[in-house]
Amino acid sequence: MNLNVEKAFITDVAKPGGVAAQELITKFLGPAPPSGWDGWSRQRWIRRDVLVRALSEKVSGLEQALGPSVPYSKSYSSLTMLATSSAPPAT
């Protein structure tokens, strides 16, 4: 670490970060555009879209795992019935 850096150099290096910070502040705290999709709403929508897509890719495997004929294991309906008469592990 060079502690003898000139103040002007530090200021020049910091400028892009200040510009980026201002853009983020404007995007997420500024007034909503006419479309109504402010920064946080857009971000939340994108997260939801990614979640829905990821879940849709897993549905067939999930259906199989939750189905009545799982190889080498009891079905979840059987396990649920068993849990009514005997406490499952880790409870």
> What are 41-87's pLDDT values in tens digits?
999 999 999 999 999 998 888 888 888 888 888 888 888 899 999 88
Q: What is the full DSSP assignment across 44-85?
A: HHHHHHHHHHHHHHHHHHHHHHHSS--TTS--HHHHHHHHHH
More confident residue, 27 or 46: 46
> Binning pLDDT at 50, 70 and 90, where does residue 91 land?
low
Is the separation of the CB atoms in 37 and 49 below 8 Å?
no
- pLDDT at residue 17 in the model: 92
Break the chain into its structural domains and give their ranges. 8-66
